[in-house]
Every structure is written in C-alpha cells, then in structure tokens.
Amino acid sequence: MRKSKKDGSGKAHVASTINEPLYVNRPVAVNKQGFLSRFDEIWDARWFTNDGPMVQELEHELAKYLGVGHCVLASNGTAAMGLLIDALGLGGKVVLPAFTFVSTAHLLALRRMEPVFCDIYPDGHDLSVEHCQELLSDETSAVIATHIWGRPAKIESLQALCDEAGIPLIFDAAHAFGTRHGERMIGRFGRAEVFSFHATKLFHTFEGGAVTTECSELAERLRQLRNFGFTEYDQVDCIGTNAKMSEVHAAMGLANLESIESIMMGTRDVYEAYERGLRSIEGLTLARPRSKAETNNYYVPVLVDEAKFGVTRDKLVSVLHSENVLVRRYFYPGSHRLAPYKAIVGDMISLPVTDFVSERIMVLPGGASLTVEDVEAVCSLLERIHLKHADKGDRPPLSDNPGLG
C-alpha cells in the first residue's frame, strides 16, 4: 500500500497536481516475502501445476474464509463461469444483466445459447427482479446475476423467483470478494458463485478465478471438467477442458490472503475519503451500497450529471486522463449495445436504466493501492473542474490542459 505524504506538522496535504498515474483498481502488491518464500518452495518441489499443494491449500483456505463447503479454483473467472455453465448442463436461454462485464454473455454465445439481457435498478445497478421475472420463459435454463460493485444483488428475491421457475440461480461474484450479506459471506449463495481473481480485483492471484458451492457433486464435476474430464490416470469420464490454476498463481493468492484484513481496511479508508471528498461536488453522485455493512468498498462508481457538473461524462473522463487520473467507463456501453449482440438484438431490446447508467457512469481509482491523500487530490481536481465549467467564479489553476480551455 502506498504511504501518505505528510508535512512537518504531521498533516497530509493535498497535492495540486497528480504526478503519477492513478489507475482504477491497480493491483495490490503487499506481501512480496510471503509470495517469494512460497515461490522458492514451488521451485524446489518442482511441482508447478495440475492440482498441486499450493492450489489445494488455497482452495482449503478460501473455503474456510468464505465459510462455504467447496472452492474450486480455475485459471480465470471466465473459465470458472464456463466450467459451471457446462457442469450444470445449461442450454437455451439464460437471463443476465447487460450492465456487467461482457465475459458471461460471450460464454453463452460461444455455446450457442442465448443471453437474455435484463435491466437493472437505478440505485444499486444490480439485476431487476421484476424485469427478470418478465423475461423468464420455458426456455430459460438459469439466471446469472452480478453482485455489481461488490454489493449483494437482491439475493432472496432472485432465489424465490428461480425456485418457483425450477432453475438454478448463479451469482457472478467477480467484484464481491470479502463482502458480507447478513451473517454470511458472498460465496455461499445460489447454486454456486463465481469469483474472478484477476490482478485488478480486491483479492487476486495475478490471473485466476473460482467457483464456490455447497454441493459436493457439483464441485467434483467442476474438478473433472477443469482437467480434461480425467477422473483417474488414463480414465476420462466426460468431455472437459483445461482450466487449471498453476502453483505460482495459487502462491500469490495465499500471500494475498495472509494480508486480506489490511487490504480490506486500506480499501475502506480510501472509499470513506471519497465519501467525504465528493459530498460537496454538485453533479457527481457516488453510487452508494444499500447497506454500509454489505460492501467491500473496492469500487467507486460515480454518476455524472452534465447539467449540474458542467461537462459531459466523456469530456470529464478525457480531462481526468490528461491529469493522470485514469478513470474508466465501466460498464459502457451495456452488453446489448456491443457489436456482436447489437447485431442480434438490434433495437428490439429496451433497457432504459442500463442505458441511463452506462451513459453517465465513471469509476474512480479505488482500493488499497491508493492513499487517502491521493483521494483528496482527485476530489480537489474534480472540484476545480466543476468550478471552472459550472462558472462559479472561483478558479484555482489547473495544470496546462487544452481539454479545460
């Protein structure tokens, strides 16, 4: 984690320019020694992949941390979701949000299935239960909801809907490592949950992912599928693939898991600094979790209201980039408007909330790689851009930036 710079008085001061790029979800790199000592072990044992001891240990430790029966690691989150789709034998149509990462839609389309894009709620940006209900049909084989921004989807309502329809509910928990829902951690809900451990996630293994489930048979099936369908040496019982995690990736996961409490605390401090800093900036609305207790604080999604802020979301993004604040437009456009899906659904589909949010959303740099001082500098920059463009009279100087002229 980056240390905050303080002056002689011990007070952190807000920099007027941001000299180093601030990335959205820059990977945490906190426990180098924990990683290197495990790397030495791997090197000496010369066991590099194929369900090695580090992978087994990480599966055990993650299941314990999440309080779930089984954790099956995979080479990345997309591969993990693919294993699950195949293990459950899904076919036909699957309902999922258009406002999420496009990976799951791709998995379905590649399997000749139909992604049925569902709208979201304007407050939480998560799957609308009401719209999902409208979209269910006899051909629907599952619902895959995302815990967007690391906050739980409407778990109980979706579960009731899927139970009534007799179909499995799956959660894309890629954003939600470390989030609680009531007394339980995310990872224990639905038929199964799927995590991404990509470098940009709160908890990561460089690249990686996992399926978590309470169902032993499902876990066993997933293990077979990720290893070409092998059940024994020379025995292949089903058609499978290669979605295995290597030992080096698992070693990084074990090192990060050792530091997870400090990573989570640093992440929360950064989010709370944004809560304070963005409060007074007109035209920027921090999309907050429904419950402060049910978030991992990792994502800092902000909606830009052009009329009140003074510039469009896209102009603001480009100005921030030129000032070293590398914000992202996650998730713009909605999957239904990406070329491969637009070609299929065209204008036949109406997802007004998805369109509204995706045209205004901007994700600010968050997570424990930042300092509170970084956040104060970002908020101060946002304030100055707003004041300049909303023509409030007070115009502190910005660095040379043609975009602001």
Stretch that binds ligand T4K, among 21-29, 82-90, 149-157, 288-296 (CB under 6 A): 21-29
- What track of x and - describes contact with ligand T4K for positions 137 through 176 (by CB under 6 A)? ---------x-------------------------x-xx-
Stretch that binds ligand T4K, among 6-14, 76-84, 137-145, 351-359 (CB under 6 A): 76-84
- For the CA atoms of 92, 98, 103, 104, what is the dihedral angle to 10 degrees? -30
CB-based contacts of 139, cutoff 8 Å, min separation 6: 92, 93, 114
Supply the minimum distance, in Å, between the C-beta of residue 392 and ligand T4K: 30
368 sits near ligand T4K (criterion: CB under 6 A): no
Q: How far apart are CA 69 and CA 187, in angstroms?
A: 10
Picking from 200, 235, 257, 242, the residue whose alpha carbon sits closest to that of residue 58 is 257
Q: How far apart are CA 317 and CA 328, in angstroms?
A: 8
Please say which residue, 103 or 297, places its beta carbon nearer to ligand T4K.
103
Q: How far apart are CA 27 and CA 205, in angstroms?
A: 10
DSSP 8-class letter at 201: S
Please say which residue, 76 or 224, places its beta carbon nearer to ligand T4K.
76
Structure tokens at 328: 């992202």
Picking from 53, 90, 84, 52, the residue whose alpha carbon sits closest to that of residue 212 is 84
Stretch that binds ligand T4K, among 4-12, 47-55, 99-107, 269-277 (CB under 6 A): 99-107
Supply the minimum distance, in Å, between the C-beta of residue 395 and ligand T4K: 29
Q: State the residue number with the nearest CB to ligand T4K.
A: 77
The dihedral through the CA atoms of 341, 342, 348, 354 has a sign that is positive
- Site size with ligand T4K, rule: CB under 6 A: 22
The residue whose two tokens read 């989010």 is: 271
Supply the minimum distance, in Å, between the C-beta of residue 277 and ligand T4K: 20
List for the chain the helix, strand, coil content (%; round to 5): 40, 15, 45
Supply the minimum distance, in Å, between the C-beta of residue 396 and ligand T4K: 27
326 sits near ligand T4K (criterion: CB under 6 A): yes
- What track of x and - describes contact with ligand T4K for positions 204 through 243 (by CB under 6 A)? -----x----------------------------------
Please say which residue, 196 or 296, places its beta carbon nearer to ligand T4K.
196
Q: How far apart are CA 94 and CA 79, in angstroms?
A: 17
83 sits near ligand T4K (criterion: CB under 6 A): no
Residue 117: CB atoms within 10 A of its CB come to: 23
Q: Which of 31, 103, 179, 354 binds ligand T4K (CB under 6 A)?
A: 103
Binding site for ligand T4K (CB under 6 A): 23-27, 76-78, 100-101, 103, 146, 172, 174-175, 196, 198-200, 209, 326, 330
